[in-house]
Chains A and B, each alone.
Chain A
Amino acid sequence: MKRTRGLAAAIAAGVLLIAACSDDKTTDSTTAPSTGDTVAVETTVATDDSTAETVADTTPVTDPVAAGWTVDTDNCVDPAAANAPIEGTIKIGSAMPLSGGAAAAAFAPVKDGFEAYIKYANEKGLLGDINIEVTIEDDQYNAELTPGAVAKQIDAGVNIFSGIIGSPNNLAVRDTLNDNCIPQLAALTGSPAWGEVADYPWTIGQLVPYPVESAVYAAQIAELYPDGAKVSLFHVNNEFGQYYVEAFKELADQYGIEIIGEETVEATDSNPPTAQITNIAAAKPDVIMAVPLGAQCISFLNEVANAKAANPGWTPATFLTNTCASSLILGASGQAANGLYTSSNLIDVVDPANAALPNVAEYLAYMGSVGKSDVAATAGAGWTTAEVTVAILKQAQASPEGLTQASIIKAARNFTYTPTLGLPGVEFKMNGEEDPYLAESLVVRQYAVAADGSGTFTDIGDLITEFES
């Protein structure tokens, strides 16, 4: 499958991602944008195709409730509350950085997308006579503020939480929510910590775990260099980069990868990584595996291009995490982005060729109708998060227990769902302790830049589903 995006596409895209990344505090949370980005939409297309709207009720099929994993509510603070039927209105709470530093603007589209889908779900009556109400508190991406934000919402009678952004932020409220048997769905970070089903049954992560993405790249590197590859690592020195690289190192032997160098960049560093790339270039690796964030993605690509020009004959393959793979970042990098590898699991909504797909068109049209066309390109992460949340609620509603906090988490942990904006074959699956992670399928893609500066993604091989358990 080949996708082209024009330069114009870059204009509409990637706010979320690039902005997210610009923030010096972005840890894992930038993975939120990663999903968002790939769902990016070209705004102009949105208006053009608004006629293609209602292809409604392509609402993906959810499995009927499986009888597998169940949750034990005896240890809940208030077992009765956990099993009490939710009627009339279900209240969803969340804590996101809406102010305070770059994280705020970065994640604003997540909020927009999230709220837009909930509005959509209410209009379509996806939960029958149950109305969905959302409150999103501002924690400024500072974990010190998250417990307060969550406590306030519990006071206000919130039934479940969804889409809290950031690892420390989610960690800060995990105990409280698990003790009180309040589902903490769709934690927007890719930390492996969200797979601890036995200890924290009520907490679920939304993003592809960092180790899975690492493994996908390791496998692809092994395929490109069957005789073994020399790899240099470049990563941001925070939780996000650290988990990523640790996972990659563990897999290296298995895939015949020799790691010959590791360079880091501080998330707060405002100098371009000239020195780091000088060190990498001196070692002349076959592959650079890069885990930068935001604006540092751009300066990384530029410095690599400079180093290549300075070292004729050295043509390393560059692997870049999909947090960087927004058309905006890659577009801003120009020719420097040519030939890099990355990955994705969602449809590229920026691509005009995809605009006619019913799901994409409906998404674009709806975002237009709520006056959010401008962020449609980057609101996909929030949209998909809310979509999964509502799908879980719907499944819980259909269960014999009806809609309760317990049935919601039970539904979530016995869950199979095809997201509307997912690539063909992508399934979000969770199955008790066997499969605690929602999203684990990715396809590797290569980015090519034409002479006029327009970029093209080409899928390399099929969707990799082997990490789904």
Chain B
Amino acid sequence: MKSLVSIREGGLASWALRLVAAAFVIGLVFWVPTSAGAGLISTAIEALTLMSAAMALNLILGYTGQISIGHSAFLGIGAYTTGIFVSRWGFSPWLTFPIAFLIAFVVGVIVSFPASRIKGVYLALVTLALGLVFPQLLTWKKLSWLTGGGAGLPNKDSQLQTTGFNIGRKEGQMLHFEIFGWDPFGDLRRPDNKAAFWYWIAAGVAVIVYLVCRGVVKSRVGRSMVAIRDNETAAAVMGVNLVKTKAMVFGLSAGLCALPGCVVAIKIGSVSPEGITSLTVKGAITFLIVMVIGGAGSLWGPIIGAALYVFVTEKTGEWANDDAIPALIRPLFAWAKVPPGDGIFAVLLILLMFVAPRGIVGVWNQYSSRIVRVLPRPAGAVGPAPMATAAMFTVTDSEGEHE
């Protein structure tokens, strides 16, 4: 494909481009909490938690090719870790992030062993069942001493009864969040400040998840993952330890997915199977949809997909009421008795599979490369091999799913 401009990776121009992109993103990240109202900040928090979950899913699905429709369970593990440790045992909510990561990591590793023996859509089936069972596990009588059953936590047996488990709520109320005397948020009881505080927690989680994903993907493990995705047998032949790599990636993906769960629990101050939609299968399907629409197997795909999803559902949320629909497109949507968000994304998902299976990011790469093309470094230089091949989206006879 011809490009107008070619630049060399690692060269000055490429760094300049990166700087501009980074400046834009960082600017946006800072603009939201400082300039927007609490409403928009809250929407941004929803987007951040969704993109964290989708990025975690991307690691196992987009990069390693292992289908999961059960990641809602890992998010739920995160939410319930925060809920249980804070309300039952009085832990600081901060501490529950690493604990949740570890618990979900272990569960993910355990899940990976049967999972590595099950391939393709069968794994999808098993994980779908897992996603459906998880909320049942929370209401299970045998576990209700821990989870509080269908009513969730905090309940009257828990140490913490009358308050939620907002950060700082444990002993009295946290009025300010100070770092060495610096008080960036002001009085945390104010809705705007509180939203900004939560926003930074969610943003912190998203950044951590992104950096971990990036680190993994660009490492040796990342190349093993892609090799497994593209051709499992060949990967094994090349010396990739399938079981170990899958266990590691599953664990990491699960652990990362737990983190946005903690954010949700802290934000709403209670956990119950019915109060948190993200821990039900509907949540897992949403992660999957936004990840694929944004671009599976690309670092920015889930981020863009999640932002788009939250933005569109927020904008069309009231479209069940015909008057809320902009007049121009009213005839398109007025007949529907429910808001069109889910329908739009379902159609978009199917359409993209036909025209651009690598999602929005794929489309972007395709068209942007007509203008600017970044040439990879000469072979032998440090840096990742170009690996986002579309193997998963093209026929792979060797994958052995359906012979």
Asked if B318 contacts A147 (CB within 8 A), the reply is no
> In the complex, are the beta carbons of B139 and A176 less than 8 A apart?
no
Which A-chain residue is minimally distant from B152 (CB atoms)?
A: A239
A214 to chain B, nearest CB (A): 15
Which chain B residues in 110-138 approach chain A with CB under 8 Å? 135-136
Asked if B84 lies at the interface with its beta carbon under 8 angstroms from chain A, I say: no
| A267: B residues at CB distance < 8 A | 274
Q: B46 touching A144 by the CB < 8 A rule? A: yes
| Chain A CB within 8 A of B339 CB | yes
Contact call A152/B163, Cβ cutoff below 8 A: no
Chain B residues, CB < 8 A from A149: 39, 42
B264 at the interface (CB under 8 A from A): yes
Q: Does A237 belong to the interface (CB within 8 Å)?
A: yes
Is B277 on the interface with A (CB-CB < 8 A)?
yes
With A143-B268, A148-B39, A179-B189 known as contacts, the answer to whether A168 contacts B275 (CB < 8 A) is yes
CB distance from B142 to the nearest CB of A (A): 13
A210 to chain B minimum Cβ distance, whole angstroms, is: 11
CB-defined contacts of A105 to chain B, threshold 8 Å: 337
Given A104-B320, A155-B39, A174-B269, CB of A142 within 8 Å of CB of B189: no
B276 touches A143 (CB 8 A): yes
Task: Select B38's contact among A140, A152, A200, A239, beta carbons within 8 Å.
Answer: A152
A200 to B163, CA, bound (A): 9
Cβ of B11 < 8 Å from any Cβ of A? no
- Does B149 contact A237, Cβ atoms closer than 8 Å? yes
- Say yes or no: is A196 at the interface (Cβ < 8 Å to chain B): yes
Known: A98-B318, A143-B270. A238 touches B164 (CB 8 A): no
- CA A168 to CA B163, docked complex, whole Å: 12
Q: Are B189 and A151 in contact (CB-based, < 8 A)? A: no
Closest to A243 in B: B151
Whether a CB of chain B sits under 8 angstroms from the CB of A310 is no
Listed A/B pairs (7) with beta-carbon separation below 8 Å: A138-B317, A142-B275, A147-B268, A148-B45, A151-B192, A151-B195, A154-B191
Contact with B along A90-130 (1 / 0, CB 8 A): 00000000111000110000000000000000000000000
Residue of A nearest to B149 (CB): A242
Q: A151 and B42 in contact (CB under 8 A), knowing A168-B275, A199-B162?
A: yes
Return chain A residues, CB-CB under 8 Å to B189: 77, 176, 179-180
B82 adjacent to chain A (CB < 8 Å): no
B37:A155 contact, CB within 8 angstroms? yes
The distance in angstroms between the C-alpha atoms of A268 and B264, with both chains bound, is 22
CB of B190 within 8 A of chain A?
A: yes
Q: Which 9 A-B pairs give the minimum distances between C-beta atoms?
A: A168-B275, A152-B39, A148-B42, A151-B38, A179-B189, A172-B268, A238-B150, A239-B151, A143-B275
**Which positions 1-60 of chain A face chain B at CB distance < 8 Å?**
25, 27
Decide if A238 touches B136 in the complex (CB within 8 Å). Answer: no
Q: Which residues of chain B in 143-179 are interfacial with respect to chain A, using CB atoms and an 8 Å cutoff?
A: 149-152, 162-164, 166, 169, 173
Give the nearest-CB partner of A145 in chain B.
Answer: B46
A175 CB-CB contact with B under 8 Å: yes
Complex CA–CA separation, A200 to B164 (angstroms)? 12
A-contacting residues, B306-357, CB 8 Å: 317-318, 320-321, 337-339
A105 to chain B, nearest CB (A): 8
| The one of A25, A140, A171 that contacts B270, using a Cβ cutoff of 8 Å | A171
Flag B264-289 by CB within 8 Å of A: 1 or 0 each: 10011110111111100000000000
A63 interface hit (Cβ, 8 Å): no
B152 x A168 contact (CB < 8 A): yes
Give the chain A neighbours of B268 by CB distance below 8 A. 143-144, 146-147, 168, 171-172
For A, the interface residue count at a CB cutoff of 8 angstroms equals 49
Query: Are A168 and B320 closer than 8 Å at their CB atoms?
Result: no
A434 within 8 A of B: no
Interface residues of B (CB under 8 A from A): 37-43, 45-46, 49, 135-136, 139, 149-152, 162-164, 166, 169, 173, 187, 189-192, 194-195, 198, 264, 267-270, 272-278, 317-318, 320-321, 337-339
Q: A325: shortest Cβ distance to chain B, in Å?
A: 22
CA distance A426 to B26 in the complex (A): 59
Using Cβ atoms and an 8 Å threshold, which residues of chain B touch A236?
Answer: 150
Q: Which residues of A contact B152 (CB under 8 A)?
A: 168, 239
Taking CB atoms, residues of chain A closer than 8 Å to B273 are 238
Give every chain B residue within 8 A of A196 (Cβ-Cβ). 162
A344 at interface, CB cutoff 8 A: no
Greatest chain A CB density within 10 A among B45, B169, B270 is at B270
Q: What residues of B have a CB within 8 angstroms of the CB of A168 in the complex?
A: 152, 268, 270, 272, 274-276
A151 touches B278 (CB 8 A): no
B335 to chain A, nearest CB (A): 15
Q: Which residues of B contact A175 (CB under 8 A)?
A: 163-164, 166, 169, 269
Question: Which chain B positions have C-beta within 8 A of A100?
Answer: 338-339
Q: A143-B268, A168-B274 are in contact. Are A154 and B38 (CB under 8 A)?
A: yes
| Nearest-Cβ distance from residue A410 to partner chain B, whole angstroms | 21
Other CB < 8 Å A-B pairs besides A143-B268, A156-B39, A168-B275, 5 of them? A25-B274, A142-B275, A149-B39, A155-B192, A242-B150
* Min C-beta distance of B73 to chain A, whole Å: 15
> Is A338 interfacial (CB-CB < 8 Å)?
no
Distance in angstroms from B75 CB to nearest chain A CB is: 11
Q: Across the interface, which residues of A come within 8 angstroms of B192, CB to CB?
A: 151, 155
- What is the CB-to-nearest-CB distance from A89 to chain B, in angstroms, rounded to a whole number? 20
Residues of A within 8 A of B317 (CB): 98-99, 138, 140
Chain B residue at minimal CB-CB distance from A193: B162
Once A25-B274, A99-B318, A144-B264 are accepted as A-B contacts, the answer to whether A238 and B39 lie under 8 Å apart by CB is no
CB distance from B39 to the nearest CB of A (A): 3
Which residue of B164, B276, B320, B339 is within 8 Å of A174 (Cβ)? B164
Asked if B318 contacts A151 (CB within 8 A), the reply is: no
For A99, A180, A200, A238, which residue has the most chain B Cβ atoms within 10 angstroms? Answer: A99
Take A169-B275, A266-B139 as given contacts and tell me if A155 and B270 are in contact as well, using a CB distance cutoff of 8 Å: no
A190 adjacent to chain B (CB < 8 Å): no
Which residues in B have their C-beta under 8 angstroms from that of A27? 272, 274-275
Interface residue? A241 (CB, 8 A): yes
Contact status of A77 and B187, CB under 8 A, knowing A147-B42, A239-B151: yes
Give, as a whole number of angstroms, the nearest-CB distance from B313 to chain A. 9
Residue of A nearest to B282 (CB): A101
CB contacts (< 8 Å) of B278 on chain A: these are 144
B339 touches A99 (CB 8 A): yes
Could you tell me the distance in whole angstroms from the C-beta of B16 to the nearest C-beta in chain A? 37
CB interface residues, A 230-249, toward B, < 8 Å: 236-239, 241-243
A152 to chain B, nearest CB (A): 3
Q: Which A residues touch B45, using CB under 8 A?
A: 148
Q: Which residues of A contact B264 (CB under 8 A)?
A: 144
Pair B39/A151 contact, Cβ less than 8 Å: yes
A155 with B338: CB separation less than 8 A: no
Query: Which residues from chain B contact A242 at a C-beta distance below 8 Å?
Result: 149-151
Cα of A148 to Cα of B313 in the assembled complex, Å: 14
Smallest Cβ distance from A433 to chain B, in angstroms? 14
Q: Closest B-chain residue to A78, C-beta based?
A: B190
- Are B151's CB and A171's CB within 8 A? no
